[in-house]
A = this chain, B = another copy of it.
Amino acid sequence: NDEFVSKISPSFETFEGFQVKRILKESPESRSIVVEGSFSGDNSVASVSSSIVILEKTHFTEKEVHGILTKSTALQCLFNNDVYYNFLCHPPIQLNEVKATLIHPASEKHIEKFSTRKSFLIEETALIYQSVTLLHIRESKFDLQWVYNILEHKKEADRIVYEDLDPDCGFILLPDLKWDCRSTSNLYLTGIVCKRDIKSIRDLTSEHLPLLKNIFDKGSASITKKYGLDKSEQRIYLHYQPSYYHLHIHFTSLQFTPPGCNVERAHLLSNVIRNIELKSSYYQESSLDFLAFEGDPLLKKYHQYIGLSSDGDY
């Protein structure tokens, strides 16, 4: 009977018999990697199917640090310039653990979920915006009903932090769904403008300066009042491309780095206001860089337009 149990839920003491098939995803910033493979010599039903291993370096504990910074750790000097040294260290095994998650057997859905897509920075000229992006937005008929439900108080009315229902300058501010509202250290709110004809920063001109300044001032002030975070501690920005084409502003705490606040996607509202003050048609005439992902229909259309193969093959 023990034998039966071990077939259902095998006990792993090492990775003996594991065959690496391919790397599904790498996240260097969090020191983790996702590997697809299989266990050879596994006689269970699962033997033909894939397994996924997620390897992840652990963070240092204070106890480990004290153990590592001793004569037990061998150093290999990579370089030295003035007071700066770089080493590769080899700490004792017990002070340098790796976390592993195994999914065994793994389904096709698991594999899809844990795979990465390549991304590319695209320079969108004014002409490409008109010829490709604008058509794509119109053809895609993005469903904005959920946004209108918020603006009409049909949904999420109890979550509203601040609202100004002026038809030209108004907006509704509420916590973003990505925020668990448990701590201001990862504060994330979204301001949705009342006007329905502004798709993205591409549409903004000096006509919208009162709207933008109103959101910048009243949005940040209501966050200061409710959550105690000064305006100078808030990151206030827009995305290009946005994930939906109804103008909205992100308010996050400077203390943390949410996805989408990188320079290739985020535009500080303060800077957008200044650029429009400099030139009303700044966002109609300037090229804008945006991040496109492998398999993204917009990337395909862009490649077709500039005459590359449609496979995303650069």
Q: Contacting chain B: which of A19-27, A131-139, A204-212?
A: A19-27
Chain B residues within 8 Å of A14, by CB: 70-75
Chain B residue nearest to A262 in the complex (CB): B261
The answer to whether the Cβ of A18 comes within 8 Å of any Cβ in the partner chain is: yes
The reply to whether B263 and A262 contact each other, CB–CB distance below 8 Å, is yes
Copies of this protein, total: 2
Contact (Cβ within 8 A) A96 B98: yes
- A residues 62-104 near B (Cβ < 8 Å) are 62, 65-66, 68-75, 77, 79-94, 96-104
| B15 and A75 within 8 A (CB) | yes
Residues of B within 8 A of A267 (CB): 263
Chain B residues with Cβ below 8 Å from A73 are 14-15, 98
- Complex Cα gap A31–B32 (Å): 10
B55 touches A120 (CB 8 A): no
Chain B residues near A262 (CB, 8 Å)?
A: 235, 257, 261-263, 266
A47 interfacial contact with B, CB 8 Å: no
Given contacts A27-B256, A258-B29, contact A87 B75 (CB under 8 A): no
Nearest 3 interchain pairs by C-beta:
A28-B186, A57-B57, A263-B266
Binding site for B on A (CB under 8 A): 9, 11-18, 20, 23, 26-33, 35, 37, 53, 55, 57-60, 62, 65-66, 68-75, 77, 79-94, 96-106, 118-123, 145-146, 149, 155-156, 159, 177, 183, 185-186, 230, 232-235, 237, 254-258, 261-264, 266-268, 270-271, 274, 278-279, 282, 286-287, 289, 291, 314
7 contacts between A and B (CB under 8 A): A12-B87, A14-B74, A15-B75, A55-B60, A55-B65, A257-B262, A261-B262
